[in-house]
């Protein structure tokens, strides 16, 4: 090949042996077969590792604005009927949602311990519009301002017992069982309260609240605000002959859709939890720290406008809890703790929004270049080790043979 060829020949790192100088042995054939099997197994393992999808969590500052926080809840109260429960929401911006009915349903339960479903209704248990009455009928509100109802056929009137209750609540009057109220006596309101006093209640549904610091709570009686205070009419709750309590089981509480099981290593902290009390005047408080969370499947990226199509936007949370008797005094479990007197019985959830956001991003465990590098390493390493083994077996066989001949 001339002078150029001879120069390249001196650079050849892969020296060859002539065919006559090669020796094939049985042990070499066995090592070759084993090497091929090992290479195939390791290459398949490398391919599976290349195809494997892992979750890479990231922590960033949450830059979203003006979003709503979805709340999904399912809570059972075995010792208090649905008629006495009210669900309210308040937040730091000053917005209040009282006696929430939209998106919430509650199920009447048979007396404890059976607690079997009786019927499911909306939180508005007074859907009687008194359509059977004289069209000219206008119920008395007994000195309270009539509630505004867009669907009511007449304005300035209290057509039902519920209308009177709302009118009383709007100015902070206690209602009781509606004694002497024509509408309530017509609807047998007091008798109905007595008939359901042993029932329990399950509250389930969805809320949408401002994504700011706030709280939602389930407490007895109609709620109203006066002098910048949030108050509940507790007359019916304490006047009942039944010793109602706020023993409860939280079947589920979440803030948004569930994450895929590959990311969700455990259930929500409060799912399946139960709190018990034998006191009527008792308060349960849960302090929840909510963290925005995104799940980005493989190929989905996050833009300035938010996560792309196919992403899951939800929230995770941590929680601490506290409970106390509203009668005040020394804590039954901690002798050095004293509780203040007063408050509203019920279950309260105070939520705070974390400024950080967790992004769970799907990604390949290794790149295609990494896969090729791994395959080359497997083949080269296996052949190198196999050659060393074969050389050792061959040299050992020769020495043993010479010993026998000598």
pLDDT tens column, 332-380:
777 777 777 888 999 999 999 999 999 888 888 888 899 999 999 999 9
* pLDDT band, residue 244 (cuts 50/70/90): very high
- Computed on alpha carbons and rounded to an integer, the radius of gyration of the chain in Å comes to 37
DSSP 3-state of 286: strand
Distances (CA, A) of 374 to 33, 47, 197, 378, 388: 21, 9, 71, 6, 21
Report the alpha-carbon distance of residue 182 to residue 201 in Å, rounded: 28
* pLDDT band, residue 201 (cuts 50/70/90): very high
> Are the CB atoms for 69 and 209 separated by under 8 Å?
yes
pLDDT for residue 258: 84
Averaged confidence pLDDT in the chain? 84
Report the alpha-carbon distance of residue 243 to residue 165 in Å, rounded: 23
pLDDT for residue 318: 94
How many Cβ atoms are within 10 Å of 299's Cβ, its own excluded? 8
Mean pLDDT of 315-336: 85
The enclosing H or E element of 278 equals: none
Report the alpha-carbon distance of residue 219 to residue 283 in Å, rounded: 9
How many Cβ atoms are within 10 Å of 12's Cβ, its own excluded? 8
Q: What is the 8-class DSSP label of residue 111?
A: S
pLDDT tens column, 145-165:
888 776 666 678 888 888 898
Report the alpha-carbon distance of residue 389 to residue 30 in Å, rounded: 11
Give the least confident one: 117-121, 183-187, 397-401: 117-121
Which residues does 335 contact at the CB level (< 8 Å), separation at least 6? none
Which regions of 265-387 does DSSP assign to beta strands (E)? 273-275, 282-296, 302-303, 306-307, 312-325, 329-330, 338-339, 346-364
* pLDDT band, residue 406 (cuts 50/70/90): low
Give the least confident one: 28-42, 124-138, 277-291: 124-138
SS (H, E, C) 149-188: CCCCCCCCCCCCHHHHHHHHHHCCCCCCCCCCCHHHHHCC
pLDDT for residue 360: 87
* pLDDT band, residue 125 (cuts 50/70/90): very low
How many Cβ atoms are within 10 Å of 373's Cβ, its own excluded? 13
Q: Is the pLDDT of residue 1 over 60?
A: no
Q: What is the 8-class DSSP label of residue 14?
A: S
pLDDT for residue 124: 43
Give the least confident one: 43-57, 77-91, 102-116, 261-275: 261-275
pLDDT for residue 333: 72
How many Cβ atoms are within 10 Å of 14's Cβ, its own excluded? 4
Model pTM? Answer: 0.74
Report the alpha-carbon distance of residue 25 to residue 337 in Å, rounded: 86
pLDDT tens column, 260-288:
776 666 789 999 999 999 999 999 999 99
* pLDDT band, residue 183 (cuts 50/70/90): confident
Mean pLDDT of 12-23: 64
Q: Is the pLDDT of residue 96 over 80?
A: yes
Q: Is the pLDDT of residue 304 over 70?
A: no
Give CA 344 to chain center in angstroms: 27
Q: Is the pLDDT of residue 325 over 70?
A: yes
pLDDT for residue 254: 94
Report the alpha-carbon distance of residue 98 to residue 232 in Å, rounded: 10
Q: Is the pLDDT of residue 252 over 90?
A: yes
* Crossing angle (nearest 10°) for helices 26-51 and 368-405: 160
Give the least confident one: 52-66, 113-127, 288-302, 327-341: 113-127
Distances (CA, A) of 17 to 20, 23, 27, 369: 8, 11, 20, 34
Q: What is the Cβ-side half-sphere exposure of residue 94, based on CA atoms within 13 angstroms?
A: 1
Percent of the chain with pLDDT over 70: 85
Classify strands 96-97 and 68-77 as parallel, antiparallel or unpaired. unpaired
pLDDT for residue 19: 63
């Amino acid at each position: 090949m001339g002078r150029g060829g001879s120069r390249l020949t001196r650079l050849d790192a892969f020296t060859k042996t002539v065919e006559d100088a090669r020796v094939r042995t049985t042990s070499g054939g066995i090592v070759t077969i084993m090497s091929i099997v090992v290479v195939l197994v390791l290459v398949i393992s490398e391919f599976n590792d290349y195809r494997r999808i892992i979750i890479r969590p990231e922590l960033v500052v949450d830059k979203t604005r003006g979003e709503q926080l979805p709340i999904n809840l399912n809570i059972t109260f075995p010792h208090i009927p649905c008629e006495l429960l009210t669900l309210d929401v308040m937040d730091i911006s000053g917005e209040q949602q009282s006696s929430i009915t939209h998106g919430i349903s509650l199920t009447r339960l048979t007396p404890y311990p059976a607690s079997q479903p009786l019927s499911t209704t909306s939180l508005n248990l007074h859907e009687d519009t008194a359509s059977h009455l004289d069209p000219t009928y206008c119920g008395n509100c007994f000195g309270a301002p009539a509630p505004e109802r867009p669907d009511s056929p007449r304005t300035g009137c209290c057509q039902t017992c519920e209308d009177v209750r709302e009118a009383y609540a709007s100015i902070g009057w206690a209602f009781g069982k509606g004694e002497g109220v024509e509408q309530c006596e017509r609807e047998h309101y007091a008798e109905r309260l007595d008939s359901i006093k042993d029932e329990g209640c399950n509250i389930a549904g969805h809320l949408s609240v401002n994504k700011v610091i706030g709280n939602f709570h389930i407490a007895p009686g109609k709620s109203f605000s006066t002098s910048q205070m949030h108050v509940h009419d507790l007359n019916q709750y304490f006047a009942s002959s039944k010793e109602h309590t706020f023993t409860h089981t939280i079947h589920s509480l979440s803030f948004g859709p569930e994450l895929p099981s590959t990311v969700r290593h455990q259930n929500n902290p409060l799912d399946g939890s139960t709190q018990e009390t034998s006191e009527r005047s008792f308060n349960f408080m849960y302090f929840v720290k909510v963290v925005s969370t995104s799940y980005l499947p493989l190929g989905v990226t996050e833009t300035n406008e938010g996560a792309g199509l196919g992403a899951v936007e939800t929230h995770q949370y941590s929680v601490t809890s506290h409970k106390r008797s509203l009668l005040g005094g020394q804590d039954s479990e901690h002798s050095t703790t004293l509780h203040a007197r007063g408050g509203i019985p019920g279950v309260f959830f105070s939520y705070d929004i974390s400024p950080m956001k967790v992004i769970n991003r799907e990604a390949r465990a290794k790149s295609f270049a990494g896969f090729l590098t791994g395959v080359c390493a497997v083949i080269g390493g296996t052949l190198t080790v196999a050659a060393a083994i074969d050389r050792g077996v061959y040299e050992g066989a020769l020495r043993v043979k010479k010993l026998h001949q000598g």
